[in-house]
Structure 1
Amino acid sequence: MKEFIISEAQTEKAVLVGLITPNQNEQKIKEYLDELAFLADTAGVEPVKMFYQRLDYANPVTFVGTGKLQEIKEYVVENEIGVVIFDDELSPKQLRNIEKELKVMILDRTSLILDIFAKRAQTAHAKTQVELAQYKYMLPRLTRLWTHLERQRGGVGMRGPGETQLETDKRIILDKISLLKKELVSIDKTKSIQRKNRGKMVRVALVGYTNVGKSTLMNLLSKSEVFAENKLFATLDTTVRKVIIDNLPFLLSDTVGFIRKLPTELVESFKSTLDEVREADLLVHIVDVSHPQFEEQIEVVNKTLADIHKEEKPMIIVFNKIDAFSFVPKEEDDLTPRTRENVSLDELKNTWMNRLQDNCIFISAKDKTNVDELKTKLYSRVREIHTTRFPYNDFLYQQYDDVDDGSLDE
């Protein structure tokens, strides 16, 4: 899908665009644009400036107002900008009009995430899922690909060549979507059989926002080498490992990270990948406690989990990256309201987190701080689930001997 794949041979400069609305104040849009900048950097694009405008709702024609669009155009021309990225999904009409005015590559948040997923996908399963999502995204936007064919002849019964080409292309994409869906059904059946062959071991799934340290923690617990880096969506393909803590074996899976405004096309395409979450006996929710908006990230993950599986599952919340947590103490005579930056980690622990009791733990996967305590907690919870499942046969070790430590990759 070359339409929104960004060349790795060159680093394009980009500007980012967002809206301040009644549902999204200035502080919030700055946070969202910071995340969009991180997405752009992950995709190999260099964000150099952010534009935002205060509107009650997005302009249905150009997303931002005409004056702001002209301001963006002038900056794009003067600074030789190659890409303009919008923080919300653009309609086909908005996309066409903005592209016509700015005359550079236009991406929205959805197409940018799709581009990252396309580059990160390694297995046939992930590649098929991403390709399906891309075709679904492209389908309503075909008109901008064939602008040179849009002029139609007048007269009754005289359909223009543009319409004919669009209909042909639409039919090709619909056939491709149908084929990819069939391929996914076939792959899902194979994976379902693989899951059944794993026996009755307790299943634990790592979940969380993207870039919170799931893969790093996976490597620590399973002594494996799952790819991990400080980029968004470093992991797309679900990895499953057999982990043994004090002679108690269980299966641990590392899943794709969640993100706010995750494209609908990707949610639908990746539902099968998240079967590990649906079938898990215990969820370990990893949170980057050093992130200024970690509480909102928790809400995003919980909402996505609720969409995936309606029933609540046992969960441990792991507040990771305590090594990166920082705060600025307030001066005694400072009467301004306290903010997240003025609260220490110990003070945070005494807020709503205190109600979690034994269901949470604070660690640093990077420095291995409190990792042994996490293993003890996991052992306790997994043993509890296991003994509930096998009340008369405490720890049937012999059933696990056939499971190969390194053969469970998804």
Structure 2
Amino acid sequence: MRTKFILLSILMFAFSASLVAQNKKELAKKILSDKKMDTVYAMAEKLLAKGFNAGDGYPQVWIRDMNTFIETSCKVYNTDTIRKNLLTFYRLQQPNGEIVDGYVLKGHVTWNDPNIYTSDLDPGHVGFKNTVETDQETSLIQAIAKYIRVTGDASILNEKIGGKTVLERMAFSIDYLLKNRYSEKYQLLTGATTQDWGDVQIEGGAVVDVDENTHWAIDVYDNAMFVIALNDMIGFTKLTAGKQKWMNLKQLTSTNIRKYLWDEKNHKFIPHLYVNGSPFPADFDENKMHYHGGTAVAIEAGLLSKEEIALVNKQMLKNVALSGAPSIGLTIYPPYPEGIYKNSNASKLYVYQNGGDWHWFGGRMIQQLVANGFPQEAYDEIQPMLSIVLKHSKFYEWYGVHGEPSGSGDFKGSAGVLSTAIVMLRDWAQKNK
């Protein structure tokens, strides 16, 4: 009897494995023959071959955008120029180690920003920064890591700028974060109170700049970006002592993200952990908000198990269905109610960062579904994004709850994340066909 049971178990396992393999082959065939993916990828290459400004509404070069399209840019644009663009950010690095959001040629400033950043190391450019965010330093480290992975040009790390190598300047920028954007109590990075990954503070005031209205908070997006950057630093560093320093800081940050920001009961990240009080009324339950973008980046940082990824993905799909949004690019759900805070423009329902649908982050979730063993879900969930891009023949910055295109019509961040997601799906399909 025991022998028969064992044989039956073996046969059932073999049948199950065969069925899984067959399903993989069918999915791989579908992916490789998907003409929508081919067309959108070709559109992305064409757009990214035009340069580095964020989009037709943004003449500046932004590092938080460039970080998300540099992989495809390296395939379609002159890599020497890309290298120079990356190094410009370190030439504009401030004496305290701070990294700017972006830059333009001096004399080409097109906005009334009172905070203009300059550097003697690059008198031809001026920088700017939305200081409510804490992702500029980490975005630049990640962008250089991606540049090296695609081009193989690790020599950029040893390039000297003002007596410091790029690798030393990376460490200098992390020192800036630890000295100026860090909670010693929670041992996590801090930033202004914004909607998920957004760069608009909810209190109004200076809007994109820290001011007397700012409520300092800790969120998953900034800290997950930090973990990814620290992982890149580990890869850059050859000396054991230096590598151990970054490994220890990465482990500490990852542990504290889970400890303070992960809501185990509800299988989600809390929106904010406030350092010195919340800007919201005492009866407002902010934890009902689901932050899609920060969650996708947290998955990239390796902060969730495969089981947890499945759970948050199901929740994202549920939120999309409840909201009526086009895709899992839905920023947050539910959106913050109108009138809950002073910045009235940022509180409009399903507008911009308060529930707009952004492929810029939805595409990152697709990437992580592929990377973590959910190719079917990734393929299914990218389809609405491909369809809306093809419908409008453009990569719009974001979409309204009914699919209305908004913002920049040639937003390179969207093109970058979708093209990378398509490459990842194709690579999976090639291995499983």
Q: TM-score band, normalised by the shorter chain?
A: 0.3 to 0.5
Higher relative contact order (CA 8 A, sep 6+): 2
Q: Which has the higher helix share?
A: 2
- Report the TM-score when normalising by structure 1: 0.32
- Select the structure that is richer in strand: 1
The structure having more radius of gyration, on CA atoms, is 1
